[in-house]
Amino acid sequence: MSSGDGAGSNGRGASEHEVVIVGAGFAGMYMLHKLRGLGFDTVVLERADGVGGTWYWNRYPGARCDVESMQYSYSFDPELEQEWSWSERYSGQPEILRYANHVAERYDLRRDIRFGTTVAQVDWDDDARQWRLQTDRGEYRARFVVMATGCLSTANVPQFEGAETFGGPTYHTGRWPHEGVDFSGQSVAVIGTGSSAVQAIPVIAAQCRKLTVFQRTPNYSVPARNEPLDPAEQAKWKANYRELRAKMFAERAAMVQRLPDGEDPAKEAGDDEFCQRMEQRWEVGGFTFYRAYGDIALDPESNNRVAEFVRNKIAGIVHDPEVAAKLTPHNTIACKRPCLDTHYYETFNQPHVDLVDVSETPIERICEAGVVVDGREYPVDGIVYATGFDAMTGTLLRMNVTGRGGMRLADHWDAGPRTYLGLGVAGFPNMFTVSGPGSPSVLTNMIPSIEQHVDWIARCLVDLRERGAATIEPEPHAEAYWVDYVNAVADLTLYPTCNSWYLGANIPGKTRVFMPLPGFPPYVEICEDVASDNYRGFVLT
């Protein structure tokens, strides 16, 4: 039952609903649409002033999806699929945000989204068997909470000494000003060389007078080969969407590649065959490169052979051998999030672009005029922090969630996140996470992953309603089993061998645990099986 709108802190009491969803990105929007259609009284709390989540916040120059447009969209409504057209092979942030707004409009979602509402505290009330959410606009109560808070939604801004003394503007890629930023004629620092920086650096370089990039770890990147979307390609997808979506869902990353995945081992390929295959994929562009052979993510020797191919490419693209050497990674390829780019390495051939290696001598401090490394001052007008996110758990933990008996989620996750299926947490009844730790999430095309979670949660809520069950939560042993399972699967791969944000290794003090689960289709099967088997591993009361 709703007591009306978000009641706010005006003395009218809490706003009560059956379901509160936190977040109005692609997960929250679809969850709302789905639950509304099933007759649940649902409200969404969103700290931003608009929908879109990741695509609302990440407005940095060059921000673009690395999944091809025809696959990075909702599949739940064939009419929506047919009426929307994409303009490029990979959509830029403005186009994806327009799509999110179109969806909000089309399904009249905004009337149940409370914008500009930040959740500060989330407590389970065992007596009332409901959640209480404290926000800066008053209290909300609900039987169920769905955390649709995104995997990359809490910015990581390193605490450099003197940062507050800097005389110019600073930006984080994930909190980019909506009015845009004009770097014309300016000297700009970019700190970081992850996916966001790899996209932003060529675009910022094209605008500014001088660009200085501060790199701690060089990254492998492969050309995206973005281009205007071929109308015939778009028509092919629209004519065959059901069949192609089914193919996507059957893929381990929930997306179809332009070339078939190689199954054979890279280390056993003859030199000519290897070069030909890798060259072809380098030219085609996109993630298909990383799928050329079956064992790139599994076998160190095969992995290194592919890595060496990219190292040679860097040496061929970057004119100054010293700069090329600094840009050349030596770690495992694709165990950090693989990057796709448009002229990233080429950008370092431009005379106004400098690369400062901070791997051995870290950024010492920020001063009023710029960035200081090893006693040398690099004067800049503005600083761009492309320093990533407290991924997968950061946003959930900042909401101060407490479950049964006042147990803090932060304590329960002290040794790393623990979930069952990436959907629920033991001791936190009626709380669901969409693309949470322990689910394939960031290792996949996010929208199909989101749809699968939303559909599962919706089915679960309907089943609970039909059975008259008040609560559902994972059994501790099922959660423990799942944590072990995710680790065991990750340990079969090379993923845990790098200091990646998948492991939480980018955040000082964060426990190192591999958070996402590799492999979408087997995961989907397990989720279906659990639901069909009377929610095996969950307790229903």
> What residues make contact with ligand NA7 under the rule CB under 6 A?
152, 158, 173, 191-197, 214, 216-217, 337, 358, 363, 386-389, 501, 506
Separation between Cα atoms, residue 224 and residue 217, nearest integer Å: 21
Report in angstroms how near the CB of residue 193 gets to ligand NA7 at its nearest: 4
322 within 8 A of 335, measured Cβ to Cβ: no
Report in angstroms how near the CB of residue 500 gets to ligand NA7 at its nearest: 8
Report in angstroms how near the CB of residue 358 gets to ligand NA7 at its nearest: 5
Identify the DSSP state of 155.
B
User: To the nearest 10°, the Cα dihedral for 497, 498, 504, 508?
Assistant: 120
C-alpha to C-alpha distances, 212 to 348, 381, 506, nearest whole angstrom? 10, 11, 22
Q: Which is nearer to ligand NA7, 71 or 387 (CB)?
A: 387
Taking the CB of residue 163, how many other CB atoms lie within 10 A of it?
Answer: 17
Q: Is 243 helix (H, G, I), strand (E, B) or coil?
A: helix
Taking the CB of residue 98, how many other CB atoms lie within 10 A of it?
Answer: 15
Residue of this chain nearest to ligand NA7 (CB atom): 194
Length of the chain equals 541
Q: Which is nearer to ligand NA7, 194 or 417 (CB)?
A: 194
Q: Which is nearer to ligand NA7, 501 or 538 (CB)?
A: 501
User: What Rg value do the Cα atoms of the chain yield, rounded?
Assistant: 23
59 within 8 A of 178, measured Cβ to Cβ: yes
Report in angstroms how near the CB of residue 314 gets to ligand NA7 at its nearest: 16
Where b means 16+ CB within 10 Å and e means fewer, 127-161 reads: eeebbbbbbebbbbbbbbbbbbbbbbbbbbebebe
Report in angstroms how near the CB of residue 216 gets to ligand NA7 at its nearest: 3
Separation between Cα atoms, residue 256 and residue 449, nearest integer Å: 14
Report in angstroms how near the CB of residue 413 gets to ligand NA7 at its nearest: 20
Q: Is 513 helix (H, G, I), strand (E, B) or coil?
A: coil
Q: Which is nearer to ligand NA7, 161 or 411 (CB)?
A: 161
Report in angstroms how near the CB of residue 450 gets to ligand NA7 at its nearest: 14
First to last CA, the chain: 21
Q: Which two tokens stand for residue 365?
A: 């401090």
Q: Which is nearer to ligand NA7, 214 or 535 (CB)?
A: 214
Q: Which is nearer to ligand NA7, 148 or 503 (CB)?
A: 503
Report in angstroms how near the CB of residue 386 gets to ligand NA7 at its nearest: 5
Read off φ and ψ for residue 18, nearest 5 degrees. Answer: -75, -40
Separation between Cα atoms, residue 91 and residue 97, nearest integer Å: 10
Q: Which two tokens stand for residue 119?
A: 């959740």
Q: Which is nearer to ligand NA7, 147 or 334 (CB)?
A: 334
Q: Which is nearer to ligand NA7, 41 or 364 (CB)?
A: 364
Separation between Cα atoms, residue 371 and residue 358, nearest integer Å: 11
Separation between Cα atoms, residue 404 and residue 124, nearest integer Å: 6
Report in angstroms how near the CB of residue 505 gets to ligand NA7 at its nearest: 7
Q: Which is nearer to ligand NA7, 344 or 420 (CB)?
A: 344
**Can you say whether residue 55 is alpha, beta or left, with left for phi > 0 and alpha for psi between -120 and 50 degrees?**
alpha
Question: What is the chain's percent helix, strand, coil content, to nearest 5?
Answer: 35, 20, 45
Report in angstroms how near the CB of residue 338 gets to ligand NA7 at its nearest: 9
Q: Which is nearer to ligand NA7, 353 or 425 (CB)?
A: 353
Identify the DSSP state of 360.
S
Report in angstroms how near the CB of residue 198 gets to ligand NA7 at its nearest: 7
Q: Which is nearer to ligand NA7, 359 or 541 (CB)?
A: 359
Read off φ and ψ for residue 459, nearest 5 degrees. Answer: -60, -40
Q: Which is nearer to ligand NA7, 150 or 474 (CB)?
A: 150
2 within 8 A of 41, measured Cβ to Cβ: yes
Report in angstroms how near the CB of residue 382 gets to ligand NA7 at its nearest: 17
